[in-house]
Amino acid sequence: MSTPRKIIIDTDPGQDDAVAILLALACPDELEVLGITCVAGNVPLALTQKNARIVCELAGKPEVRVFAGCDAPLKRKLVTAEHVHGKTGLDGPVLPDPVMQLESQHAVDFIIETLRAEPSGTVTLCPLGPLTNVAKAFDQAPDIAARVQEIVLMGGGYFEGGNITPTAEFNIYVDPDAAKIVFEAGAPIVVMPLDVTHKALVTKPRNDAFRALGTPVGLAVAEMTDFFERFDKEKYGSSGAPLHDPCVTAYLLKPELFTGRHINVEIETVSELTLGMTVADWWRVTERKPNATFIGDVDADGFFALLTERLARL
């Protein structure tokens, strides 16, 4: 048995972030969650850091270290997504307020300190929200980007366009300046864009399988999804909620479920019309240097089988 992969989850819970965190915490033999760093995104920071602790306690893991990070993007005004995730950010299930404490250290300092303390190339960053915390860490400590094993993030879109503007996906749109810093930092990046997450849809049978687990986690995930899906069903007419962020965790556990291309991806940070667009050179029509593995497809049945089987462990 190999040693578990060390990860830091950077997140803005968010129902789909919650499922991604639950999946990670359900697999301690494969993933060692060194910490969960919270950022403003789906809802303000005061709620994302609270929601992260609610999810850790739902998983029965109150010992996980949860840190609060940036409460606004690097340069722009915060845009939130209560219209998708509800007022609390975790609408759907009724879950108790957290008892576990928030760490006093700032999330950005935790990211820097951890990357410097752990052997180089042994820590994976898993951003599930706007990239403000990660960008700030790279900016404050330029030495750490080279120490990152891999960044596996949810964000962007190419064939799917955008979900918050016609051209931009929410995580990148909220802080495009941060995204530019991260995509240019030189660390190996795997991107889970809408192109793949829109293929990971929680259809009714799949949601019924969560409920059929008969556990508090299974029920909570089913109720989160029941709430979360209405935005995408209305907008896209899709057959269920796209489980965006759990694609990151599933990739760490079973990368063979996913396919993509190593291409150049750049971020629009100037034009108001296309702000936050991930300009993905999927067809390699430019000479720009490939800097990211951009995922385009997933074995959806395999993904949900993995997710359901692992969640049953909590």
User: Active-site positions?
Assistant: 244
Q: Is 170 in the site for ligand RIB (CB under 6 A)?
A: yes
Residue 175 as a binder of ligand RIB (CB under 6 A): the answer is no
Q: How many CB atoms lie within 10 A of CB 230?
A: 11
Cα–Cα dist 298/76, whole Å: 33
Binding mask 237-266 for ligand RIB (x = CB under 6 A): -------xx---------------------
Nearest-5° angle of CA 261, CA 266, CA 269? Answer: 155
Contacts of 290 (CB under 8 A, 6+ apart): 262, 263, 264
**Given candidates 91, 169, 175, 232, which one binds ligand RIB under the rule CB under 6 A?**
169
Q: Are 294 and 158 in contact (CB under 8 A)?
A: yes
Smallest gap from Cβ 98 to ligand RIB, in A, equals 19
**Given the complex with ligand RIB, which of 41 and 92 has the nearer CB atom?**
41
For ligand RIB, the closer CB: 13 or 35: 13
- In whole angstroms, the minimum distance from the beta carbon of 236 to ligand RIB comes to 12
Question: Cα separation of 77 and 80, whole Å?
Answer: 10
Binding mask 216-245 for Ca ion (x = CB under 5 A): -----------------------------x
Contact flag: residue 156 with ligand RIB (CB under 6 A): no
Supply angle C-alpha 256, 16, 234, rounded to 5. 110
Strand partners, 152: 190
Instruction: Please tell me whether residue 12 binds ligand RIB under the rule CB under 6 A.
Output: yes
By CB under 6 A, tell whether 229 contacts ligand RIB. no
Consecutive H or E run containing 207: helix 204-211
Residues forming contacts to ligand RIB in the complex (CB under 6 A) are 12, 14, 16-17, 41-42, 128-129, 154, 163, 169-171, 244-245
